[in-house]
A and B are shown apart, each in its own frame.
Chain A
Amino acid sequence: MMAETQLAILFTSIALVVIGLYAAIFVDNIIKKIIGISFIEEGANLFIVGIGYKAGGIVPILMPNMNTTWFASNASYPLPYGLVLTSIVIGASTLAVMLSLVMVLYKKYGTLSTKEMLADTSKQEEYNE
């Protein structure tokens, strides 16, 4: 049976992914697109955190005086947390690269609108100069 908390996590992550997809596909402003992409990434991370959740469980750190059988049956599953930690670092790197590219493009076009960027091809020559 899925715990209530786990169900709440699942629905929240679905909402984050859907909102993020909407922003990434339909919103014109490139910064808002990137915020949407962050939503998708965080939705995926939240979902994986939810997998490791155990109702009434304890933090998965084995202390010296703990009974290992009791620990195994009560601790939450630690693998997803390790994975999410890595995924957050990757997400931050991706975000940094995207934002640095946006900075360059903003200097070139003077706008954050993707439609205006696509329409304005004359800026390339000015930028090259």
Chain B
Amino acid sequence: MNELIPLMVIVPMMAALLLSAFSKFNKVIKCLALVVGICLPIIPLASNYGLHFFGGYQPIMDNVTNVIYHPAITYSFDFMQQIFIAMIGLLTFLVIFIYLTKYKKASGSYLFLLFMGTAAVTALILTDDIFHMFVFFEILALAQVGIVAASSIDYSYEMALKYMILGAIGSPMMLLGIGFLLAMTGTVNVTDIVSIIRGGLLDVTSPVFLLSLGLIFFGWLYASGLPPFHTIKSGIYSKAEPHGAALLQSFTVISMISIVLIMFRIYSTLPIFEVLVVFFSVVAMILGVSMALTQTDFRRMIGFLAVGELGFIGLGIGLGTQYALTAGLFQALNEIVITALLFIGFGAIVHATNEVDTRKLGGLLAYHPKVGIMLLAGGLAMAGVPPLSGFQSKLMLVQASLSCGYPELSILAIMVSIATFVVFVKTFYSMFLSPKPHDLEVVDNEVPKAMVFAMAVLLIVIIALGIFPDVVTSGISNYVGGLLP
């Protein structure tokens, strides 16, 4: 059923608008949010692969040049989109479930932001239109700012404004880059741009083409939180509610891969593109993990570790082979699940202790063994310990680096994984295993059941992906094969 493809965006967007409109009716919005949340992972799984042309405008063949043009906004839906949209749907459902069970009075505006963010990332990953990508990139930025500003954590407004200002510089740069591409090709459809480039109708060595790469690349760095935006990205994670941060990081990962895959299709003929992606990814890996080592606020620590993991994704995409791209995308999928588990788990600790400083925590394993064990599994998965999912994707990345002739990148990836392990074990020890400080008061012995349920679901996904990676990697590999020139 190809008709379901636009519904993946329309359903969360309509739900967002309805939730905002009926925010006074608490029970209505709670039921509506829960029902739509359940539908979100089901719609992509029920939909057939294919293309959707908005307005029903089919592609047109130019009889003179024999080039096909797409007059309408096009959504492309394949295995890769299916698995990512289903995963983001599952995560949105879990986050909404946690939110609705945590607060008796639900906020329609906050639910609006959660659903609007989900709709925006879904559109980002589906779209084959570079301007459509920009529009949803902006909507996503606004939703992210709203989620951060809506939290009750100190300095959340300041962080939201900082993120907004940087975004307001990054997005016009991306718009200018899109403008340059439009000026050169006369279209904003990515498939059309790619066919113009492959047909030799565009000089890819022209400075204007390079300038468009630079400008769109700058916007991508902002969207993905790679250096120099890594501190602001980890900052917004730490200033959002923990369940909100779990969703925010997944938004970041999806927007990162969506934009970089579009850039890959357009600019992969330029060697400088791959060099740039690998360079910024390597810097992100090193900075992410080294800054995580120095953090005492565990939300901030997870934020920096998440940025480091983004570097692994970029590394896979920057290497540019079918195997490396598959590894990068598999790593992206794993990171969404693993980091969400960690944010929710640490959120449970904040709920129980009202404390975020690892130096002031200790002995929590006796109080919250379930949370402790699931957090440990999540941390080990992030560090790449077998047989969890992180191990499979990182192993693939190391093999991809070796097969591309860059053993130094393999060594770096292994070293960063070891450093991630050290960071996590150090934090886990000080929070769960070290003696409980006298002044630490465990205010709540019961962690919300919704949080434990969400963590358990995510842990099952991590273990399943670790044991059966082929279920995902073979489909992603087929999709990636179609992208390569």
A residues near B, CB below 8 A? 17, 21, 24, 30, 33-34, 37, 40-41, 43-45, 47-48, 51, 77, 79-80, 83, 86-87, 90, 93-94, 97-98, 101-102, 104-105, 108, 117, 124, 128
B98 to chain A minimum Cβ distance, whole angstroms, is 24
Within 8 A of A (CB), among B154-199: 154-155, 157-158, 160-161, 164-165, 167-169, 171-173, 175-176, 179, 182-183, 186-188
**Cα distance A11–B207 when bound, in Å?**
17
- Asked if B83 is at the interface (CB within 8 A of a chain A CB), the reply is no
Q: Which residues of A contact B131 (CB under 8 A)?
A: 83, 86
Q: Which residues of B contact A102 (CB under 8 A)?
A: 161
Q: Which residues of A contact B297 (CB under 8 A)?
A: none
- Asked if B145 is at the interface (CB within 8 A of a chain A CB), the reply is yes
| Secondary structure class of chain A's binding surface, majority of residues | helix
With A17-B176, A33-B165 as contacts: A105 and B157 at CB distance below 8 Å: yes
A101–B183 CB distance below 8 A: no
**Cα distance A51–B131 when bound, in Å?**
15
A69 to chain B minimum Cβ distance, whole angstroms, is 14
Q: Which residues of B contact A104 (CB under 8 A)?
A: 157
B161–A40 CB distance below 8 A: no
B172–A97 CB distance below 8 A: no
30 cross-chain CB contacts under 8 A? A17-B172, A24-B169, A34-B165, A34-B168, A37-B168, A40-B169, A43-B172, A43-B176, A44-B172, A47-B176, A47-B179, A48-B175, A48-B179, A77-B186, A79-B182, A80-B182, A93-B138, A93-B142, A94-B138, A94-B141, A94-B142, A94-B168, A97-B164, A98-B168, A105-B157, A105-B161, A117-B158, A124-B154, A124-B155, A128-B154
Listed residue (A17, A44, A117) with the most chain B CB atoms within 10 angstroms of its CB: A44
With A77-B186, A79-B188 as contacts: A101 and B164 at CB distance below 8 Å: yes
Smallest Cβ-Cβ distance to A101: which chain B residue: B161
Q: Which residues of A contact B139 (CB under 8 A)?
A: 90
**Cα distance A24–B168 when bound, in Å?**
10
**Cα distance A48–B173 when bound, in Å?**
12
**Cα distance A94–B138 when bound, in Å?**
8
B137 to chain A minimum Cβ distance, whole angstroms, is 10
Looking at chain B, what size class is its interface with the partner chain? 20 to 34
Q: Which residues of B contact A98 (CB under 8 A)?
A: 161, 164-165, 168
B42 to chain A minimum Cβ distance, whole angstroms, is 31
Q: Which residues of B contact A90 (CB under 8 A)?
A: 135, 138-139
- Asked if B329 is at the interface (CB within 8 A of a chain A CB), the reply is no
B residues near A, CB below 8 A? 131, 134-135, 138-139, 141-142, 145-146, 149, 154-155, 157-158, 160-161, 164-165, 167-169, 171-173, 175-176, 179, 182-183, 186-188
Q: Which residues of B contact A37 (CB under 8 A)?
A: 165, 168-169, 172
B156 to chain A minimum Cβ distance, whole angstroms, is 10
Residue of B142, B158, B172, B183 near A105 (CB, 8 A) is B158
Q: Which residues of B contact A108 (CB under 8 A)?
A: 157
B175–A44 CB distance below 8 A: yes
**Cα distance A104–B160 when bound, in Å?**
12
**Cα distance A47–B154 when bound, in Å?**
40
B161–A48 CB distance below 8 A: no
Listed residue (B158, B165, B168, B173) with the most chain A CB atoms within 10 angstroms of its CB: B168
Smallest Cβ-Cβ distance to A37: which chain B residue: B168
**Cα distance A48–B168 when bound, in Å?**
17
**Cα distance A90–B131 when bound, in Å?**
12
Listed residue (A24, A97, A124) with the most chain B CB atoms within 10 angstroms of its CB: A97
Smallest Cβ-Cβ distance to B157: which chain A residue: A104
Residue of B155, B165, B169, B182 near A48 (CB, 8 A) is B182
A97 to chain B minimum Cβ distance, whole angstroms, is 6
Q: Which residues of A contact B160 (CB under 8 A)?
A: 101
Smallest Cβ-Cβ distance to A6: which chain B residue: B183
With A48-B179, A79-B188 as contacts: A40 and B168 at CB distance below 8 Å: yes
**Cα distance A80–B131 when bound, in Å?**
10
Q: Which residues of B contact A33 (CB under 8 A)?
A: 165
A121 to chain B minimum Cβ distance, whole angstroms, is 8
**5 additional contacts, CB 8 Å, given A80-B179, A83-B182?**
A24-B168, A37-B172, A97-B142, A101-B145, A128-B154
Q: Which residues of A contact B182 (CB under 8 A)?
A: 48, 51, 79-80, 83
